[in-house]
Structure 1
């Protein structure tokens, strides 16, 4: 629907201009749905911004980190991030990223998600997105274009949510603990230790943390460890090294956590992501 924009070889001074031009084009275009392809270099950061359309951000290759005031979300290969319209967010590339984004007007159909979430990609949805970025831009798509985009729209609400969000508490004391943990994650952090640091009872800490994040500390801690592990695994680091660096006593303990959170082993997860990327590129 629009020419692929590559930021891989663009001069640094042109990157901001390219983004501003794309956002301006996006705000000025019509129709309920727009699909855009992009290529980004490792370490590139899209500065804080928002748009009037909701965005389904899908990385065919590489890992993306989305940051908002509500927290951080990891988007590895074979996943997508749903960002509702108007949400301020920045995007950091972990590895070279091949991105495909679908932008949807909030009233395009009923049942679109109303909050930030990471979702798993189905084979059907992945194929629809890859096809959508090749279709001609039409304000009111008809024929085959209309059928592809219509089905894509109706598949969005049914995508399975994945536990790859990392919401931060609103209490500055709790948020500071979370930031320190993200910088040096460990599976051994306990409620009692964190409660003592902020001068709260175990019960008060547990209630406050869950109320402000929607998660128990145990679940939040596991998701933070996944945040640290996925980019390293995607870069091909040995599972043993990643597990031990994160403080796990053994690879089986790390694998148990990984399987509990994502439903598969680290090897199976990364193998599936590589296979999906090969399929998407024919």
Structure 2
């Protein structure tokens, strides 16, 4: 009962408003509540709808939420080759990484990573610029084929790269043609097709930074730490391959047994001794 100017008005009835659960507006269409809740997935929405009494969200193939399709769309990884190399150099994966803000003492700004698919052995080559990658790759192929010429006769069969200009030049194209090498180019913006060599960039850089920081070595010596990181990585067992070691898989004992007694902590103090002319004293 309400009072007006101190006088009770019996014609006015006090009504208690109904309680709306969770303060939700009385709209139950799933198509409306789906965007109101921030476009949750169907399973999440249906669970909430069951608990608070909302209508289910049942989008048909012809009425999918355009916002979800646009905002949550993912790039297809495409077809990944199931080819498995059975010998060194059958499949070589190549990629570039850089540039670094610290200039190396020989002006290197980036590095070329070369992965032997069979052994998972990695080669790293510091470069002054990306344009130098073409000749660096050509030189590497010559060196490796010369090495194996009397150790199994392995030849580079396939080289897989992205579509960078350094890998699509006429110089490299003609070189591959003269050697009978198949050049596989990944689909643009689909790095997963060459993901193995791209993912190792993170591993190499993490190990490189660890060596620099742990050894208190100045950053401009990053290329030395990078070479050391690759050297060590190639000598560590790969758990996903029953503990096989890349060095042993790649060289197969032709380059001598795997040794660790030559290792020293990166950045430790070292002293070089040398002779003097005519054994004079000073």
Question: What TM-score comes out, normalization by structure 2 length?
Answer: 0.20
Greater fraction helix: 1
TM-score w.r.t. length of structure 1: 0.20
- Compare relative contact order (CA 8 Å, sep 6+) and give the higher one, 1 or 2: 1
Structure exhibiting the larger radius of gyration computed from Cα positions? 2
Looking at secondary structure, tell me which structure has more strand per residue.
1
